[in-house]
Structure 1
Amino acid sequence: MRAGGSPAPGAAEVEVFAWATDDDPDQAAEKAAVDALGEVFAQACPGHGFVNPVVAGGGTPDPRRVLRSRLRENDPPDSFQAHPGGELADHIDAGHLTALDDRFVEWGLVDVLPRGLLDALTVDGKIYTVPAGVHRLMLWGNGEVLARAGLTGRPATLDEFVRDLDALRSAGVEHPLALGAAWTQLELLEGVLLSELGPERFESLWAGESDWSGRDIGGALDAYGTLLSYTNPDRDDLHWPEAAKLLSGGAAGYLFMGDWVVGALEEAGLGDCRYQPFPGTAGTFQWLGDAFVLPRGAPNPEGAHCWLRAVGSIEGQKAFNTRKGSIPVRTDADPADYPEYQRAAIADLERARLVPSCAHGSACAPEVTAAVTGAVGRFSGSGDVAALRADIAAGVAGRGPDAAPQSSATHRRGGT
């Protein structure tokens, strides 16, 4: 097996679209995770060879667009990577994917995945994705910076969080909350919405089941604007690794981001790293997942099935998640195989209430995520709460300036 290249002589090709490329340093951990999964596949599925055309193609400008075109033209790969949830709605509507319920039973996944995650993966009674791992959105703190400001506890509410930010600023940390551009700002908004509105209201808003006109929405958006006033003014120009460096380098006390940031913080030498759910969201687990699917008409279905079985296996989950910083979804995974933070997240995955993320496709379809991200980006410059509310509502309804036409189908999540 030659990851990202051609299969070994005599091996049947299994073509898997996976998004991390050789020339993107921001995705080094993801590429290492996919390559490690390919090695498990090679051991488990002799006679088949893993090929990732995104890497092998050498700089395809937009591999997702290429994939969509191939699916429309009935020229699918054998599998492709996706975030389970709303991101796949259009593919499900178009009949591009094969349901995997029988395979979940055959491979024993029904018995080893948390019930909450199984429900989250289920769309209209069917399962279309094999999860490789789960990430969690968390608030990260630089313990040394916080201690110098006299902050030894962890903020339990949004008000306490704002008081911490005030204390940091008074202690000389001018921009105490690190933030990057685009989707990192939407992550922060989601943390505020979940904190202020609770999980049921939060989910209903992204699902289009509640409107955005309530007083509680206005209060949450005002609170988000307040948090922005504590962030670095160059936020619109920073990718997430640069925002993470503000935290690890001591220029900020806090950062809200997915736990893929752990590796970057460790590499930067942040020894005293604090972490917690966003203040006011205790008992929830805001998640996004990495998963792989089976396209309808996959040219090598035997190889595709073997690939997906490797993705869901104990060995595959360990290989993928130990390199990416995410956690396995199997309840029979051995926590001892993972560092301290991941062990805590593994425990929480089974007992916390799972809440999806619009920023990362588990709560929203791609066109909604794009529209809402655009609205949040405009707010970063304008500070116009009324416009932010209107733009988000329009984006969720499919009427925003950044929104593409949406499918009219409605999907019911949960229940097998």
Structure 2
Amino acid sequence: MSSHTRQSRASADVEMAHFWQEGGGKRMLEELFADFHSRNPGVEVTDQANTIDDHGMLIKSQILQESPPPVFVEWPGQNMVPYNEAGALRDVSDLWADNGWAEAFIEGPRERVQMDGSYYGVPIDIHRMNNLFYHVDMVEERGIDPARVDSPGEFLEVLEGCEDGDVIGMEQPMKNPSDVLQLFANIVIGEFGAETYRGITQGETRSYESELRRSVELLDAYADLAREDATFVDMVEANGRFMEGESVFFHQGDWMAGSYEDRADFEYGRDWDHAVFPGTEDVFMLSTDALVAAEGADFDEDARAFLEFMASPGAQKTLNRIKGSIPPRRDVDLGDYPEILREQFRDFEAASHFPAGHALQITPDAFVDAKVAALEFVTTRDVDRTTRALLDAYGN
């Protein structure tokens, strides 16, 4: 009997809070919960929605009320530090030792759930955030080779020449400030390098003030080429417009690729393809999720079995195949994964730099301040004001 399978006993529940309420994420959880229940017939997994946009306020309020779920999904790294400082995370180092996870998990994701030498969660996926998706026929018609565009500045010139009737160069969702920050981060990395991004986001803002300002100027120039209603458009709607052929390019994380794979007559390599965002070669800008255990919850035998199950090679294979990400374990067979995910894994292994998205790279307070700065940029398009606000946000 495996470590994440228990004998049937009286009915019990394990509660998990997560972000995935629709699409591939919802299908992924349905399959995983059914698999866990088949291995543990007396145990049901119940779940609750914890939206990304509420900055984790649901979980935080439950922690304050001393009624958190035993297991919840969080961004690891800097985002977990305040939870740990408040004593809200359970040390699960014993599970790591019992299951040999330190040898199985890839170093980067493994380190992001580690604080002060102890483990406070289990990484469950790796996403790439510096993808540039495009329509194959559109770039060929315009004589563009996306892989040969060397910088965000050069890409701006490419986008300026892409407009044709109702077709624009690139969809730019601006409703959610996180999407604006994601584009900004890739502009910084593509124009000035991953070390500049690291320095800015780790508080060395005065040393990189001119680079930060220039990146905001480029962000502003990109926004000039966005649709008039871009400030009301979210990532999902922008992606739908891209799939309908209303833009040549779309910059986003690889989580978008699942919708392309699911679409009939939209074949990878023939109809759509991807390159890295210009200037970010040898960079794998990553985002990752982790399952963490709450210190104030009843972390019983069933909750332990569930965490062990979700960390297992089989569950991680299912999770990432459906979710559209690559596994953080070394021992997961990717043979039946879509080609784009196998390519992403090869790129991950070959990359030299692994900067993380804002939510993992900076403290939660700094992330909130940076999102406020991005929201003000969308509203005012004031480069000076945005530059000052980001200097303050990253400098905290």
Aligning the two structures, in what range does the TM-score lie when normalised by the shorter sequence?
0.7 to 0.9
Deviations 1:355-400 (A, max 9, x none): 1101xx21123332222122112212322111111111223345xx
Which residue of 152, 156, 161 maps to 2:150?
A: 156
Equivalents in 2 of 1:31, 1:355: separation in Å? 28
SS at match of 1:228: helix
SS at match of 2:289: strand
Aligned to 2:388: 390
1:178 is aligned to 2:171: yes
1:86 is aligned to 2:65: no
Q: Percent identity?
A: 23
Alignment length (residue pairs): 379
Deviations 1:281-315 (A, max 9, x none): 11111111122101113313322211111111111
Equivalents in 2 of 1:104, 1:83: separation in Å? 19
1:305 is aligned to 2:301: no
Equivalents in 1 of 2:285, 2:97: separation in Å? 27
Gaps of 5+ in 1: 1-7, 22-26, 399-416
Query: Do 2:286 and 2:355's aligned partners in 1 also have CA atoms closer than 8 Å?
Result: yes
SS at match of 1:354: coil
Structure 1 residues 287 and 157, CA gap change in structure 2 (3 angstroms): same
Residue pairs, 1:39-50, within 5 angstroms: 39-50=34-45
Aligned to 1:344: 343
Which residue of 90, 112, 124 maps to 1:132?
A: 124
Which residue of 141, 166, 184 maps to 2:134?
A: 141
Aligned to 1:19: 19
Equivalents in 2 of 1:367, 1:35: separation in Å? 33
One-letter amino acid of the counterpart of residue 14, structure 1: V
For residue 46 of structure 1, report the CA deviation from its aligned partner.
4.4
Equivalents in 2 of 1:178, 1:324: separation in Å? 23
SS at match of 1:51: strand
SS at match of 1:262: helix
Which residue of 70, 73, 80 maps to 2:65?
A: 73
Structure 1 residues 161 and 212, CA gap change in structure 2 (3 angstroms): same
SS at match of 2:126: strand
Structure 1 residues 9 and 47, CA gap change in structure 2 (3 angstroms): closer
Aligned to 1:189: 184
Residue pairs, 1:218-237, within 5 angstroms: 218-237=213-232
For residue 238 of structure 1, report the CA deviation from its aligned partner.
0.8
Equivalents in 2 of 1:160, 1:397: separation in Å? 29
Equivalents in 1 of 2:226, 2:81: separation in Å? 34
SS at match of 1:335: coil
1:316 is aligned to 2:310: no
Equivalents in 1 of 2:151, 2:394: separation in Å? 27
SS at match of 2:361: coil
Query: Do 2:134 and 2:273's aligned partners in 1 also have CA atoms closer than 8 Å?
Result: yes
Deviations 1:221-247 (A, max 9, x none): 212222222222211111211101222
Deviations 1:228-276 (A, max 9, x none): 2222221111121110122212221111111111122334443321212
What is the TM-score normalised by the length of structure 1?
0.84
For residue 41 of structure 1, report the CA deviation from its aligned partner.
2.3
Structure 1 residues 213 and 204, CA gap change in structure 2 (3 angstroms): closer
Q: Could you tell which deviates more after superposition, 323-332 or 68-77? A: 68-77
Query: Do 2:153 and 2:191's aligned partners in 1 also have CA atoms closer than 8 Å?
Result: no
Aligned-residue CA RMSD in angstroms? 2.4
For residue 335 of structure 1, report the CA deviation from its aligned partner.
1.7
Aligned to 2:365: 367
Equivalents in 2 of 1:131, 1:43: separation in Å? 23
1:115 is aligned to 2:77: no
